[in-house]
Amino acid sequence: LEFRRVLFRSEGVSQDYEQAMEWFVKAAEHGYGNAFAAIGYMYGNGLGVEADDKEAVSWFIKAFENGNTTGTYNLGNMYLDGKGVETDHAKAMRCFELTAAEDYPDSFNNMAYMYINGLGVDRSYEKAIECYEEGIEAGSGWCAANIGNMYASGAGTGKDVNKAIECIQEAIELEGYDDELMEYAESILGVMVQNGDITRADASAILNNAHPETVIFSDVKEDAYYYDADRKSTRLNSSH
């Protein structure tokens, strides 16, 4: 939906979430699956309305019933987190499997997260790696970054510094300049510097070569950004 892109990204207009909600409701009345997903996202994040996880779930279910991929993915996250609904890892995995079948990149990432942590499934690094690799093929830079993190730490893959660097570089290429991913990549590299796997100059070169005008390798962090302290993996939350 073009108006959805414009209203959320403020291309030529000021952001007005209340107006966006009005448009989404009108579109939902005509059965547009993207509108159901967008309304759920807005309730989940308190955009133009009071935040209400249960209401968000109800709209994500409508999106799911209308075959909308984004809404189904977001519903999976709600089941995974127990937000607005009882935690149900089996239903979460089913949602991610359905959206992965549509090559929705983030789905592979979150399926891998569930396999790594044994959430509703037997813990399996092998299956997690398979999910990450499929996600990379679908265009997910986060999957590339996470498998790079596994190579950096040796968890499930065996330690391989060169492959870790290759994966981080691929992640940046796939996602472009995404603030969260760049922070995540910087943190993985920072831990590698601390461990003596690479030099600070190496880490700076990897990031600065990606975006020489905007990226500066900051002080090495003690803890990695946006992932579990034991270096399991990161997962992605709701998408609009």
Is residue 236 over pLDDT 90? Answer: no
Place of tokens 């000021």: 14
> Of 118, 66, 63, nearest to 75 (Cα)?
63
Backbone angles phi, psi at 51, to 5 degrees: -55, 135
| Helix (H) or strand (E) segment spanning residue 178 | none
Q: Which residues contact 201 (CB under 8 A, 6 or more apart)?
A: none
> Which tokens hold the place of 69?
């991929």
User: What is the reported pLDDT for 210?
Assistant: 63
DSSP structure class, residue 156: T
Please say whether the beta carbons of 78 and 53 come within 8 A. yes
User: What is the reported pLDDT for 227?
Assistant: 36
User: What is the reported pLDDT for 49?
Assistant: 92
User: What is the reported pLDDT for 126?
Assistant: 95
pLDDT band at 216 (very low <50, low <70, confident <90, very high): very low
> Which tokens hold the place of 60?
């994500």
User: What is the reported pLDDT for 230?
Assistant: 35
- Spatial distance between the Cα atoms of 141 and 179, rounded to a whole number of angstroms: 12
> Which tokens hold the place of 34?
């993207």
Please say whether the beta carbons of 58 and 20 come within 8 A. no
- Spatial distance between the Cα atoms of 163 and 148, rounded to a whole number of angstroms: 7
pLDDT, one tens digit per residue, over 95-141 is 999 999 999 999 999 999 999 999 999 999 999 999 999 999 999 99
Please say whether the beta carbons of 8 and 24 come within 8 A. no
Please say whether the beta carbons of 35 and 25 come within 8 A. yes
User: What is the reported pLDDT for 135?
Assistant: 97
